[in-house]
Amino acid sequence: AKSEEQLACEKEWLQAGHMWLAHRGGFTAVMREGEADPGRAKVRVLQTGEILTVDEDDLEKANPPQLERCEDIASLRCLNECGALNVLRSRYAAGLPHARAGHALLVLGPPKRTAPIYTEKVAAMFRGCRADDMPPHVFAAAQSTHRCMLASRRDRAIVFLGRSGSGKTSAMRHCVWYLASAYPAQGSKLTPERLDAAFDVLHLFGSTRTGSNPHASRFVSLTSLDFDGGGALAAASVQILLPDLKPGQAPLRALHTLYHGCDGRLRRELLFDQAPITTPNPFMSSTEKADAPTEFAALKEALQLLAVTENEQMAIWKIMAAICHLGWAGAVKANTGSGIKYQFASTGCGQRAARLLGVGTEELARAVFVTVPTSPQTNSNLRTPSPSNEREMSGTEAVDAFVTGLYNETFNIIAALVNRSLSTSARTAASILLLDTPGADNPMCAGQQSGAPLSKLLSNYLQERLQAMFHEALLVAPRERYSQEGITLDDGTEEDWLSETVNPGPMVELLDKAPQNTIVRSSQADLRECDRRGLLWLLDEESMYPGSSDDTFLERVMAHYGAPNHTHYLIKKAPHARQFVLQHLQ
C-alpha cells in the first residue's frame, strides 16, 4: 500500500503535465506548456528547455519517477510504449536485466553464465519461494514452474522466444542449472555439471556463425526434466528436432574447433598434417584460431564427463575429419570413356577422407556423385522447359549434400550419446519441458542482400507459431474470460490492442493456411476465385507441377496475398529479382 505522501507526490507529478515525446530516434522527456492548433501541442524539452510544437499523437503520458524501475510493466500507472521502454532501459542500466510483463518474463540481452546474478548464492535465495516473494529473474521463472508442477501434479512448460542472438539458449540453460542444483535427487547422476556438459556438447556441434549471432543454434531442442513425487530431479532427456546443419552454407563451430584445436598424435591420426594448408576450405572458418585449443580441450572434458568412451570419441573425430578433407577435395568434371562425370578435384584429399571413413576411394566417389547425372536426360522432352528443371546438380552441390547428410547423422549420434548419459530408471511423477528454438532472423539486418533460404523461413514460421500461442494464451483468452465474468476493460476505444497489426494470426495463416477445396492449379484468373492457401502449400504444389519455376511461384503468391488483397501489408515484392519480403512482427 502507498502512503499519503507517495500518493500526493504522484498526483502532483501527473498534474504537472510530464510527457514522453516519441520521435524517430527514440523518446524524450518533455512537459506540456499549452495548446496550439487543433491536434497540436506546445511542449518544453526538459533537458534543453527548448519549446516545440508537436502532434498530439506523438505524446504519451509519463509515469512518476518511483515507477522507473518497477518489476512488472503491467503495474505502470500510465501503460504505453514509451513508459515500458523507459522501465526496461532504466532497469538494464542499473544492472537489472529482468522484468515482468504480466505472466511473461523479459530478459534484456544475452545472460552471461559468469554474471554475478547467476551464482549458487543467488540461486539459494529463490529455492522454495512463492512467486509473489521473488523479484523477476530466470531462477524465479524456474522456481514458479516447479512449484506449479508440484501443486497440480501436471506437466509444465517454459517456452523461450526472441530474435537470434537474444539469449534464449543461455536463459534455458540457466533454468536447467537452477532446477538441477536446487532439487537434486539423492545419489542421482544428474548433477548440474553433467547437464552443463551435455548442453556444451550439443551446442558446440549444433551451432554456427551468422551475421547476427556468432553462436546461433541451428536446431530445436525440447528438454524434459522429470521429477519424482517429492519434487527431486530423477531423469532428463533432450529431444532434437528440425536440425538445420549445412556446412556448405555457414561454417560450423565443431569443424573449426576440431581442426584448429587438436594437436600432436590426434592430428596425425586424423591426417591433418597432410592437409593442404593454403587451399581454402568452404566448411571451416579461418578466423578466431586462438580460442580453438581451449574449446577443444573443454569439449573432450565434457565428453568424458558424459561417459563417452575413447573409441566413441575417435569415431566422431574421424567422421568430422573426413568432412574437412572432403571440403579440400572439391569436385571437377572429368572426361572419361563413358562420358562426362564428376570426380574429386584433389585425389589425395579424397583418399584421406575415404581412409578415415573406412571405405575405398572409388566407393566414396560413387556415394558422393551418384545423384549427379552423367548424361542428358532422355525424357526431358516430356517436361515443359523451365529454369527450375533445366539446371542439373553440380559436383560441388553433390559434395555439399553428402557432407550435410553425414554431419546430420553425426549430430544424431551425439544426441543419442547425450541421452544415454542422462537416462535413468527412476520413477517420475511430472515433468518440466523447456523449448528452445532458433530465433527469428532477418538477413537484411546483417547486410545480406541475397535473401533468406528456406531453412530461415521455417525458423521464422516456427517463431510466428509460438508467438500466436503466446498471443492467444496471455492476451485473447484472459479478455474473453473477463467478458464472461462481466468485467469491463478500459483498453481504449481508438485502437484495439488485439487488432491484426499486433496479432501474428494473419502471418501464420499466410504461411500455412490449408486449402479448402481440391481445385486443380490452372489459370491465374481461376486462382483468384478459389480459396486461398498458405505460402508453404503453394510452394509444395509448384515443386510438383511440370513447368513451374521461381517466377511462377512468386506470381501465384502475389496473386493470393499481394495487393489489392487485404493481406497486402504482410507481403511485398523485394527490389531484387525473384525475392519477396514478409512483414514479420518481430
Binding residues are 162-169
Instruction: Identify which of 28, 27, 60, 54 has the alpha carbon closest to the alpha carbon of residue 41.
Output: 54
CA–chain centroid gap for 334, Å, is: 42
Owner of C-alpha cell 517420475? 428
Q: Measured between alpha carbons, how far is 124 from 502 in angstroms, rounded to an integer?
A: 39
Q: How far apart are the first and last CA of the chain?
A: 37
**Contact predicate 239/224, CB 8 Å:** yes
| Residues 6+ positions from 98 with CB-CB distance below 8 Å | 91, 105, 106, 107, 108, 135, 136, 137, 138, 140
**Contact predicate 431/226, CB 8 Å:** yes
Residues in the chain: 586
Owner of C-alpha cell 509448384? 542
Q: Measured between alpha carbons, how far is 173 from 179 in angstroms, rounded to an integer?
A: 10
Instruction: Identify which of 517, 503, 437 has the alpha carbon closest to the alpha carbon of residue 467.
Output: 503
Q: Measured between alpha carbons, how far is 164 from 232 in angstroms, rounded to an integer?
A: 33
- State how beta strands 59-61 and 18-23 pair: antiparallel
Checking 408-416 for CB contacts under 8 A at 24+ apart, the result is 408/243, 408/245, 410/205, 410/316, 410/319, 410/320, 411/205, 411/206, 411/219, 411/240, 411/243, 411/245, 412/240, 412/243, 413/316, 414/201, 414/202, 414/205, 414/316, 415/202, 415/238, 415/240
Where does residue 584 rank: exposed (0-12), middle (13-18), buried (19+ CB within 10 A)?
A: middle
**Contact predicate 145/432, CB 8 Å:** yes
Q: Is 390 helix (H, G, I), strand (E, B) or coil?
A: helix
C-alpha cell at 224: 524434459
List for the chain the helix, strand, coil content (%; round to 5).
45, 15, 40
- Kind and range of the H or E run holding 259: helix 253-261
Amino acid at 375: S
C-alpha cell at 573: 515484392
**Contact predicate 243/218, CB 8 Å:** yes
**Which DSSP string do the residues of 143-203 spell out, in sequence order?**
HHHHHHHHHHTS-EEEE---BTTSSHHHHHHHHHHHHHHHSBPTT-S--HHHHHHHHHHHH
Look up residue 380 and give its DSSP letter: G
**Which DSSP string do the residues of 416-467 spell out, in sequence order?**
HHHHHHH------SEEEEEEE-PPB--GGGGT--S---HHHHHHHHHHHHHH
Q: Measured between alpha carbons, how far is 240 from 394 in angstroms, rounded to an integer?
A: 31
Provide the annotated binding site for ATP.
162-169
Instruction: Identify which of 168, 234, 223, 196 has the alpha carbon closest to the alpha carbon of residue 427.
Output: 234
